[in-house]
Amino acid sequence: MEFMYEIIQKAHSGIAYLALGILVFAVINAFLAISSKRGFEDKDRKISLFALIFCHVQLLLGLVVYFVSPLGMAALGEMSNAALRLTSLEHPLINVIAIALITIGWSKHKKEESSNGKFKKIGYLYLAGLLLILSRIPWNLWF
Ligand code: HEM
């Protein structure tokens, strides 16, 4: 279990850079496209899809870390400790909600007819997810 914890925890910590980086990129891409009124192309679909996939990988890794880490489910009884409340409750819960919003953004963009509509669904829902994720990162563990 110790070995598994180390590997999964490192993967969750490392892929977080990629997931956040691609998510920021997808949000900026969508808002730039909205302001320049350009068309939704295949590359826009790919950027949004990559952001979605990396968030889902991070979600799956997070779920595993949650059950094996001493800072995850095991610390649920320590709610008076802010750092443990963050890793065992706030970070997991808020991130599940954030990734649900991102997933809704992805599925809704497909139902939009116009390029502007597609970029808006991606832009606003991915941005909401990104802000939620950033609000509950255990920064002191990460750097
Ligand atoms: C996009 C979503 C997510 C991002 C960007 C993210 C990012 C991070 C980062 C940067 C850390 C600190 C890593 C370190 O120690 O270096 C962390 C820790 C942790 N995350 Fe996530 N996370 C996400 C989703 C989740 C989810 C959905 C869960 C659980 C269901 C989760 C559970 C945990 C736990 C338990 C820790 C503490 C692990 C430990 O240090 O033992 N995360 N996460």
Cα(44) to ligand 1 centroid in Å equals: 27
Please name the residue ranges forming H helices in the chain: 2-36, 42-68, 82-85, 91-111, 115-135, 139-142
Q: What is the pLDDT at residue 80?
A: 97
pLDDT in tens, 35-74: 999 999 999 999 999 999 999 999 999 999 999 999 999 9
Cα(32) to ligand 1 centroid in Å equals: 30
Cα(13) to ligand 1 centroid in Å equals: 7
State if residue 126 touches ligand 1 by the CB under 6 angstroms criterion. no
Q: What is the pLDDT at residue 52?
A: 98
Rounded distance between C-alpha atoms, residue 112 and residue 114, angstroms: 6
Q: Point out the ligand 1 atom lying closest to the alpha carbon of residue 129.
A: 1
Q: Supply the Cα-derived Rg of the chain in whole angstroms.
A: 17
